[in-house]
Every structure is written in structure tokens, then in C-alpha cells.
């Protein structure tokens, strides 16, 4: 039964409490407005939730697990979330990529250590990454935002020349299988063929984040991030109502503006009748990408990876050579199921003992599948892990699986299992979710979209929500925030 809605007047209502919805709500509440968050589930968080999915005492992240951009986010960096119980743990190795034969490439916090471990590719790695890592702190707000004239155009031009390339092209700078595989595994986070333009961007951003802040694990589970954001929001006077699923604008209380942390498909159902024909036409043609098939394991001990780097890593990219990873992603994007899929693993409990009983471990993983697939990929995923960790299957105590349909049932934003809120290929890189002066402003007065279907896209960074809030604050309340959140002043006086 739906809960009774708080019907008082609000300055803003945010529909959905994923990291972007929470970020948008916080940004507006920081300016002294009265903001209400509405969440359909009984707990806040969207993709930031944790639960005992397998056995008692084994805490699994239901959706997102490792957060390379959480500590690097220009907005989250400005928030005092540590005061609200958020604690991060950084593994010795941010990410590892095993190869047949027992070796592995590794992303270390140190750029020099990473480069040195690549042998003959040491100089090539440093030449590629040193300028980007050096410039990242000042250009992060430009990269993680909508298309606009950057504050640091020279740095952005340098980044763009590399980032806009297909990663298969960029990888030609590397001579060794390790160097090429490391780059390919990073780029596969884009969930699209590695031959696509701009697939290098996600690899460069993720590697830069690893060198600057690591790939952190939130202590106790990903839900720790959403709980800290919610607690900070409420400390500023914000209101949260869970168990209230919005299907019609008539359900909402009186307010000056509405921000939707949902994708175009849901937005059309709720507010499509308010949109112009052109805007509605664009949203109807918005494209979603590949889905994921996810498995969580309860294990009787750590994953017995052959490569030592993998045993020290929070994240493991299982794809072998860049050629194998690329072929897997190409075939999947064409609607096929492959026997040796690219698998993304996270072993949080190896570094956060609060996740599992003593001597036991949790393991989180998924592979990409065609959008909407119901094919059971458990065996294919486990075979891939066993390939690089002989004896892994013998340590499985229990497992929990989710196909794309079940993932969408859990979180309606994951259309067909697409966890990125829509494919971020060159056709939608600058036009998501529609071609407009502001991607966050809908064609309906006072309505905005703040989900990962807007720039800069998927990931736990809150920047989609921040930029949508900036636009709404400027349009509706004549409050103007900088594109770089670090340059803003907190204003808690009621407008």
C-alpha cells in the first residue's frame, strides 16, 4: 500500500533517489530551498543499495560496487559525507586484468608503478597518462558536464584528441599484451563495441581517477554512500518520502520545479503529455545499450587467482587480450551470447571484512548481454573466473543471479538491463537525452531530467544531478552556481 504523501508546498520535488537524484536534491537544499525527494522503493539509493542476497552475514552490493569517480567527483568532493558515516577503503591495486599464462596488468595508485609493471610500454603509458592526470583536477568539472566552452580549453583539447578515438586505435600505441589489455578492459566499462569512437574516454577517465584517488570501496556496502547523502540532505532540512512510486504528475504536491532521476522511457509515461511534439519525438527515439547479467557469490575463502596482482585488486577485468575483449563486446552488441564474455568482478570483502563472516568472502560480478536478454550466463561467467583462478568453483557456497528483466524490475532505470541509462556512443554522447541547448531542461515548463541519461552519463559521481540542479536554480530561482562545484558558496538562507 502506498504511503500518504506529504502535501505541503515545496520549492522543488525530486523523483527518484539514485546518486543523481540525491545530488540534485542536496544542491538545491544547500541554497536554502525546501526540497522533497520521492522514492518508489522502501529504501533510498537507486543503484546504491546493499543486502544479504545469498547467505546470512554475506553483504552484497545489489547494483554498483566499486566507485572510481566517487572520490574524484567535483561535486561529491565538496560534501562532508564523512561526517555522516561514509568511509572508503582503497585496495592496494585498483584494478587488475589477468591474461592466459598467469600474468596480469594492474592499475596502481602510483602512475610510475603502473607504467613500470607494463615493461616495454612504460614510456608509452607515461606519455599518454601523465598530462591527463596532471590536468584532471582542473578539467574534471569540464569533462564531467554538458557540452560547453571549457574553462581550460588547452587541457580539454589535449584530452579530447585522445578520448575521442576508438580504444582499439589508441591501443596501437602499446606494444605489449599487458598494456593493450589494460586499456581495453577499462574501455569495456563503456558497454559498447571497442571499435566505437570515444570509447577511449571512459578508459582515460577511469585510469586518471585511479591514479588520483584510487577505486574506493565504501565500507559496509554501496548503500553507505546513499545513506550519507540522505543524512546530509536531511541535516539541511530536506524531506524524503519512500514507498511512493510516481506514475502521474497529479500525485505530486505543489512545487515550483520538478527534477526526474529517471530515464526517457519512464519520463514519457509520467509527463509525456506535457512535452512538445519535437521533444517527445526525440525521447521516443532514445537508444538503450547492452544489458548485464549479474551474479553474487558467497565463497568459502578468497578467489584463488593465479596472478598475485588480482588477489590484491578490488576490481578485476576478465577479458584476456584486447582482441578477445573486443570480439566479446562486438558479438554481444550484435545480439549474440558469447561463451567467453568480458566479466567485471569486484571482491569487496577481501578489503572490507564487515561484508562477510570470518574466513569467508563475497564476490560480485557481471557480463554484458543483449538488451532484454533472459539467457542464464552463470556457467559462462564462472568458467571465465575459473580460467584465471583454478579452484574457484570449489569455493562457491551459494549464489544469487539476476538477468536483465530482473535487474529492470529491481530498478526501473535499468531498461533492458542497461545500467548506463542509455548507450553513450557518438550518436548520443552530446545529445543525451535530446538535442537541446540544455540537456537537463525538458520542453515542459519547470521540469528537468537529472538521471544518468544526461551528461556525463553513468557512474556514481552525482554530476548529472548537480548540473540539472544548476539549470533549475538559474531558471526558476535566479540562483547561479558555477560549473565547478568547488567555486560555489553554501547559502542556507531560505529564498
The 10s digit of each residue's pLDDT in 269-278 is 999 999 999 9
Cα–Cα distance measured from residue 83 to residue 20, given in angstroms and rounded to the nearest whole number: 20
The pLDDT tens digits for 309-367 are 999 999 999 999 999 999 999 999 999 999 999 999 999 999 999 999 999 999 999 99
What distance lies between CA 260 and its chain's CA centroid? 18
How far apart, in Å, are the Cα atoms of 464 and each of 18, 261, 275, 440, 447? 11, 9, 21, 8, 15
The predicted structure's pLDDT at residue 1: 36
Residue 42 gets which letter from DSSP?
A: S
Domain spanning 10-49+220-287+415-487: CATH superfamily: FAD/NAD(P)-binding domain (3.50.50.60)
Q: Which residues of the chain have pLDDT under 70?
A: 1-8, 492-495
Phi, psi of 296 (to 5 degrees): -115, 135
The predicted structure's pLDDT at residue 362: 98
Residue 167 makes CB contacts below 8 A (sequence gap 6+) with 183, 184, 187, 194, 199, 200, 203, 322
How far apart, in Å, are the Cα atoms of 99 and each of 103, 177, 306, 309? 5, 8, 10, 11
What residue has cell string 505543489? 254
Cα–Cα distance measured from residue 329 to residue 167, given in angstroms and rounded to the nearest whole number: 13
The predicted structure's pLDDT at residue 4: 62
What stretches of 62-195 adopt beta strand conformation (E)?
Answer: 88-89, 93-98, 104-108
The predicted structure's pLDDT at residue 495: 47
Helices (H) and strands (E) in the chain, counts: 16, 16
Contact 407, 292 (CB under 8 A): yes
Cα–Cα distance measured from residue 271 to residue 247, given in angstroms and rounded to the nearest whole number: 9
Cα–Cα distance measured from residue 225 to residue 229, given in angstroms and rounded to the nearest whole number: 6
How far apart, in Å, are the Cα atoms of 215 and each of 97, 189, 207, 423? 15, 14, 9, 23
- Torsion angle in degrees (nearest 10) through CA of 262, 286, 411, 87: -70
The predicted structure's pLDDT at residue 212: 97
Amino acid at each position: 500500500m502506498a504511503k500518504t504523501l506529504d502535501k505541503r508546498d515545496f520549492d522543488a520535488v525530486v523523483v527518484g533517489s539514485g546518486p543523481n537524484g540525491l545530488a540534485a536534491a542536496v544542491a538545491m537544499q544547500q541554497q536554502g530551498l525546501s526540497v522533497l525527494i520521492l522514492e518508489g522503493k522502501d529504501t533510498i539509493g537507486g543503484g546504491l543499495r546493499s543486502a544479504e542476497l545469498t547467505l546470512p552475514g554475506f553483504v552484497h552490493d545489489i547494483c554498483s560496487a566499486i566507485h572510481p569517480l566517487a572520490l574524484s567527483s567535483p561535486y561529491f568532493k565538496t560534501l562532508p559525507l564523512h561526517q555522516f558515516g561514509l568511509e572508503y577503503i582503497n585496495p592496494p591495486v585498483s584494478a587488475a586484468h589477468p591474461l592466459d599464462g598467469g600474468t596480469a596488468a594492474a592499475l596502481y595508485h602510483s602512475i610510475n608503478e603502473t607504467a613500470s609493471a607494463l615493461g616495454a610500454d612504460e614510456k608509452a603509458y607515461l606519455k599518454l597518462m601523465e598530462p591527463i592526470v596532471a590536468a584532471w583536477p582542473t578539467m574534471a568539472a569540464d569533462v564531467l558536464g554538458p557540452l560547453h566552452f571549457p574553462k581550460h580549453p588547452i587541457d580539454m583539447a589535449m584530452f579530447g584528441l585522445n578520448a575521442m578515438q576508438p580504444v582499439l586505435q589508441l591501443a596501437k600505441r602499446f606494444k605489449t599484451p599487458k598494456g593493450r589489455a589494460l586499456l581495453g578492459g577499462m574501455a569495456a566499462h563503456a558497454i559498447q563495441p571497442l571499435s566505437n569512437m570515444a570509447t577511449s574516454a571512459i578508459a582515460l577517465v577511469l585510469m586518471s581517477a585511479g591514479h588520483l584517488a584510487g577505486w574506493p570501496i565504501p565500507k559496509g556496502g554501496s548503500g553507505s554512500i546513499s545513506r550519507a547523502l540522505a543524512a546530509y540532505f536531511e541535516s539541511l532540512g530536506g524531506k524524503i518520502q519512500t514507498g511512493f512510486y510516481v506514475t502521474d504528475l497529479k500525485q505530486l504536491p505543489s512545487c515550483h520545479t520538478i527534477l526526474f532521476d529517471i530515464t526517457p522511457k519512464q519520463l514519457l509515461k509520467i509527463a509525456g503529455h506535457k512535452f512538445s511534439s519535437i521533444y517527445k519525438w526525440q525521447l521516443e527515439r532514445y537508444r538503450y545499450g547492452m544489458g548485464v547479467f549479474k551474479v553474487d557469490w558467497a565463497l568459502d575463502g578468497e578467489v584463488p587467482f593465479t596472478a598475485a596482482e588480482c588477489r590484491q585488486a578490488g576490481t578485476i577485468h576478465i577479458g584476456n587480450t584486447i582482441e578477445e575483449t573486443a570480439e566479446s563486446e562486438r558479438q554481444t552488441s550484435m545480439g549474440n551470447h558469447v561463451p567467453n564474455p568480458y566479466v567485471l568482478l569486484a571482491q569487496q570483502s577481501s578489503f572490507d571484512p564487515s561484508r562477510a563472516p570470518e574466513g569467508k568472502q563475497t564476490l560480485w560480478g557481471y557480463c554484458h548481454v543483449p538488451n532484454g536478454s533472459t539467457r542464464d550466463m552463470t556457467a559462462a561467467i564462472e568458467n571465465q573466473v575459473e580460467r584465471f583462478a583454478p579452484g574457484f568453483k570449489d569455493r562457491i557456497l551459494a549464489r544469487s543471479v539476476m538477468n536483465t528483466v530482473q535487474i529492470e524490475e529491481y530498478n526501473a532505470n535499468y531498461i533492458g538491463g542497461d545500467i548506463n541509462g542509455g548507450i553513450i556512443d557518438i550518436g548520443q554522447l552530446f545529445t543525451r537525452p535530446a538535442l537541446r541547448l540544455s540537456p537537463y531542461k525538458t520542453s515542459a515548463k519547470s521540469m528537468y531530467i537529472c538521471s544518468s541519461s544526461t551528461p556525463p552519463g553513468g557512474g556514481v559521481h552525482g554530476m548529472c544531478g548537480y548540473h540539472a540542479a544548476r539549470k533549475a536554480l538559474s531558471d526558476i530561482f535566479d540562483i547561479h552556481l558555477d560549473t565547478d562545484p568547488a567555486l560555489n558558496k553554501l547559502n542556507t538562507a531560505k529564498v
